[in-house]
């Protein structure tokens, strides 16, 4: 594949953008202006259009909900399991404890009442993560990786 022949065509169709201070287009230094206003202590919200405030998911003094902790732990275990499967130095005997951990986490999460609740926003994520973990465990137990 010859790549060098495409460079002149690229340069013809994509002109160089003007650099700062070389007469660039209007609004090019908007970020710089906003930053200098913020550094000067001015309210940057007056200079920009109204942007929505992002509220933290959990207040600083609150702990995350129990379902979140379970989902987070399951996703971490799935991640470790995937990395272990991709490691050619790991044997299936070394990976088997991760599969047991996946199965145990899924069983604990199935007993969680919030998983079945349609009102909990994490319920759908929990269902999807549990489905992935079940499939991973079934594939491992069935012998797909032998």
Instruction: Give the residue extent of every domain in the chain.
Output: 76-141
Query: Which of 108 and 7 is assigned the larger pLDDT?
Result: 108
DSSP code string of 91-119: -HHHHHHHHHHHHHHHHHHHT-HHHH-TT
Q: Is residue 55 scored above 60 in pLDDT? A: no
pLDDT of residue 47: 46
Secondary element (H or E) of residue 67: helix 66-86
Q: Is residue 78 scored above 60 in pLDDT? A: yes
Q: Is residue 1 scored above 50 in pLDDT? A: no
pLDDT in tens, 88-140: 999 989 999 999 999 999 998 888 777 777 777 788 888 889 999 999 999 99
pLDDT in tens, 10-53: 566 666 655 555 555 555 567 777 777 777 775 544 544 445 55
pTM: 0.55
pLDDT of residue 69: 86
pLDDT of residue 19: 53
* Rounded CA separation 67/122 (Å): 7
pLDDT of residue 52: 55
């Amino acid at each position: 594949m010859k790549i060098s022949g495409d460079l002149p065509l690229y340069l013809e169709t994509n002109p160089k953008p003007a650099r700062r201070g070389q007469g660039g287009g209007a609004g090019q230094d908007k970020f710089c202006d906003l930053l200098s206003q913020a550094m000067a202590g001015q309210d940057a919200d007056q200079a920009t259009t109204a942007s929505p405030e992002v509220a933290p998911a959990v207040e600083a003094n609150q702990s995350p909900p129990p379902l979140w902790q379970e989902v987070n732990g399951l996703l971490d275990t799935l991640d470790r399991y995937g990395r272990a499967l991709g490691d050619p130095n790991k044997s299936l005997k070394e990976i088997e404890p991760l599969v047991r951990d996946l199965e145990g986490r899924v069983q604990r999460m199935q007993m969680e009442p919030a998983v079945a609740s349609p009102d909990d926003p994490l319920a759908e994520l929990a269902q999807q993560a549990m489905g992935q973990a079940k499939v991973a465990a079934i594939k491992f137990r069935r012998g797909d990786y032998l």
